[in-house]
């Protein structure tokens, strides 16, 4: 059995999405910036996609800027805001549990001396306290960036509440909504944001395409210089097929959201319930209330996450230990450490991220396999055997 439980790393392109894109690779290949009929035909598809996406986000078409994905959108929002600011000292406020696309951008700006960055702490459920945002704001603040939902442990932030505080002070508010797009309702007005990043491959669209929503009136420095595409704000030949694919993928995601969220929530809660009941020294990272429908993040005492990941892989089950971007390094997840998870338990964590096509059968198979693997690995753990002998093993 093959089970893909790594939908937070990337998702499969929907068949309908692939079909919508195909003509734009071959038949309708004109450059949307060209004035002739080939170009105009492509431009029509791009315009329609922009309108569709804007409507789904409660935005205006000219507030949508296509980019190469979530990473570029995050870079652009922060660097663009800092570099466009007239503030003498430039402060950025963000959280300690952002995606590397955001954190590394902030670190680069600190290093170059372009900005000072305040990293807000989170509670053990991974939530930012809006009161902390208010306290951190000062006259130098250029932009506040807090992710809509966390990619590792699924915490859903009080974005709208934070937006009210930030925008009330005349400061820009950005959210990385990449991980939230498939399961949460994203309306830029309800969320109270000026800037929002999305990436198509996290909601069953193609890789290499994303967008930055930029509220009318917001001015950012350009990140990519060159031609006049995207109203002169983001250069590079317009990627017609991928844009068409992203619009189709978002349309499907919103259309089927209620059903998919219900399905994934049921599987998630069943999985968590069984894991906590049937596996000793198994802990849920993050809370149960404000959590993405598809996210499960568990730690297993006395075992390395990598060992579990590789054993599951041998059984055809794909998961992630920590975030996909930091797998391969031995650093424990910065997100789990920020939640106050002990280093050993952070090392033993596994993220299971469900998808709309995940079945109950796959979940049963995964839990049963997981139990066997945890038992076997613990059998080889000297620490666990000491624990067992001293009698605290239940
Ligand atoms: C995947 C992800 C990104 C990066 O998006 P890409 O399109 O892969 O560059 C950024 N932020 C979050 C929260 C993500 O999950």
Full pLDDT tens readout for the chain, 394 residues: 999 999 999 999 999 999 999 999 999 999 999 999 999 999 999 999 999 999 999 999 999 999 999 999 999 999 999 999 999 899 999 999 999 999 999 999 999 999 999 999 999 999 999 999 999 999 999 999 999 999 999 999 999 999 999 999 999 999 999 999 999 999 999 999 999 999 999 999 999 999 999 999 999 999 999 999 999 999 999 999 999 999 999 999 999 999 999 999 999 999 999 999 999 999 999 999 999 999 999 999 999 999 999 999 999 999 999 744 445 567 899 999 999 999 999 999 999 999 999 999 999 999 999 999 999 999 998 888 888 888 765 4
Q: State if residue 196 touches ligand 1 by the CB under 6 angstroms criterion.
A: no
Select from 222, 253, 284 the last residue of a domain.
253
- What is the CB neighbour count within 10 angstroms for residue 64? 23
Residue 324 lies inside a defined structural domain of this protein: yes
237 with 379, same domain: the answer is: no
The enclosing domain of 205 has a CATH number of 3.40.640.10
The enclosing domain of 292 has a CATH number of 3.90.1150.10
Residue 125 lies inside a defined structural domain of this protein: yes
Q: State if residue 182 touches ligand 1 by the CB under 6 angstroms criterion.
A: no
Predicted confidence (pLDDT) per residue in 122-171, tens digit: 999 999 999 999 999 999 999 999 999 999 999 999 999 999 999 999 99
Select from 253, 280, 312 the last residue of a domain.
253
222 with 285, same domain: the answer is: no
pLDDT of amino acid 121: 98
Residue 45 lies inside a defined structural domain of this protein: yes
Atom of ligand 1 nearest to the CA of 207: 7
Q: Which of 146, 147, 202, 204 to mutate to test the pocket of ligand 1 (most atoms within 8 A of CB)?
A: 202
| Residue 194 per-residue DSSP state | S
Separation of CA 199 and ligand 1 centre (Å): 6
Residue 149 lies inside a defined structural domain of this protein: yes
Separation of CA 373 and ligand 1 centre (Å): 30
Measure Cα distances from 47 to 114, 195, 231, 367 in Å. 36, 20, 12, 46
Contacts of 212-217 spanning 24+ positions with Cβ under 8 A: 212/65, 212/67, 212/72, 212/73, 212/76, 212/77, 213/57, 213/59, 213/63, 213/64, 213/65, 213/188, 214/63, 214/65, 215/59, 215/63, 215/188, 216/60, 216/62, 216/63
Separation of CA 176 and ligand 1 centre (Å): 8
For residue 292, give its domain range: 3-8+257-387
366 with 335, same domain: the answer is: yes
Select from 253, 270, 289 the last residue of a domain.
253
Separation of CA 151 and ligand 1 centre (Å): 8
Separation of CA 98 and ligand 1 centre (Å): 10
Q: State if residue 202 touches ligand 1 by the CB under 6 angstroms criterion.
A: yes
Q: Which of 179, 324, 333 to mutate to test the pocket of ligand 1 (most atoms within 8 A of CB)?
A: 179
319 with 249, same domain: the answer is: no
Q: Which of 178, 179, 250 to mutate to test the pocket of ligand 1 (most atoms within 8 A of CB)?
A: 178
Atom 6 in ligand 1: which residue has the minimum CA distance?
70
Residue 394 lies inside a defined structural domain of this protein: no
Separation of CA 76 and ligand 1 centre (Å): 13
173 with 272, same domain: the answer is: no
Q: State if residue 206 touches ligand 1 by the CB under 6 angstroms criterion.
A: no
pLDDT of amino acid 107: 98
Q: State if residue 293 touches ligand 1 by the CB under 6 angstroms criterion.
A: no
Q: State if residue 323 touches ligand 1 by the CB under 6 angstroms criterion.
A: no
Tell me which residues are annotated as active site: 325
295 with 207, same domain: the answer is: no
Q: State if residue 73 touches ligand 1 by the CB under 6 angstroms criterion.
A: no
Q: State if residue 179 touches ligand 1 by the CB under 6 angstroms criterion.
A: yes
130 with 195, same domain: the answer is: yes
348 contact partners, CB below 8 Å, separation of at least 6: 299, 300, 301, 302, 303, 304, 305, 308
Residue 392 lies inside a defined structural domain of this protein: no
Predicted confidence (pLDDT) per residue in 232-274, tens digit: 999 999 999 999 999 999 999 999 999 999 999 999 999 999 9
221 with 311, same domain: the answer is: no
């Amino acid at each position: 059995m093959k089970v893909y439980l790594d939908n937070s790393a990337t998702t499969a392109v929907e068949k309908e999405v692939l079909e919508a894109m195909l003509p734009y690779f071959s038949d309708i290949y004109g450059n949307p910036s060209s004035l002739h009929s080939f170009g105009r035909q492509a431009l029509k598809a791009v315009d329609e996609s922009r309108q569709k996406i804007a409507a789904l986000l409660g935005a205006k078409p000219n507030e949508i800027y296509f980019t190469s994905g979530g990473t570029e959108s995050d870079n652009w929002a922060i660097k663009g805001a800092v570099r466009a600011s007239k503030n003498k000292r430039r402060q950025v406020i963000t959280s300690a549990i952002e995606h590397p696309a955001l954190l590394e951008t902030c670190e680069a700006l600190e290093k170059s001396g372009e900005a000072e960055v305040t990293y807000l702490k989170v509670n053990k459920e991974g939530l930012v306290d809006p009161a902390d945002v208010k306290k951190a704001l000062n006259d130098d603040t250029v932009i506040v960036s807090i992710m809509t939902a966390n990619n590792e442990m699924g915490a859903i932030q009080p974005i709208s509440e934070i937006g009210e505080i930030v925008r009330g002070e005349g400061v820009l508010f950005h959210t990385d909504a990449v991980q939230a797009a498939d399961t949460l309702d994203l309306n830029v007005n309800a969320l109270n944001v000026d800037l929002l990043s999305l990436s198509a491959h996290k909601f069953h669209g193609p890789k290499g395409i994303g967008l930055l929503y930029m509220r009318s009136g917001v001015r950012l420095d350009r990140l990519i210089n060159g031609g006049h595409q995207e109203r002169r704000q983001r250069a590079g030949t317009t990627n017609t097929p991928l844009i068409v694919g992203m619009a189709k993928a978002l349309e499907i995601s919103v259309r089927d959201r209620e059903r998919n969220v219900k399905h994934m929530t049921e599987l998630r809660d069943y999985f968590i319930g069984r894991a906590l009941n049937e596996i000793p020294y198994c802990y849920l990272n993050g809370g149960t209330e404000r959590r993405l429908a598809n996210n499960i993040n568990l730690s297993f005492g006395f075992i390395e996450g990598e060992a579990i990941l590789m054993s599951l892989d041998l059984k055809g089950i794909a998961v992630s230990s920590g975030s996909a971007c930091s797998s391969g390094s031995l650093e424990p997840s910065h997100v789990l450490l920020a939640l106050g998870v002990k280093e050993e338990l952070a090392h033993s964590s596994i993220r299971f991220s469900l998808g709309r096509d995940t079945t109950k059968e796959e979940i049963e198979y995964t839990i049963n396999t997981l139990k066997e693997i945890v038992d076997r690995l613990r059998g080889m753990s000297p620490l666990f055997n000491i624990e067992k002998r001293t009698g605290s093993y239940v």
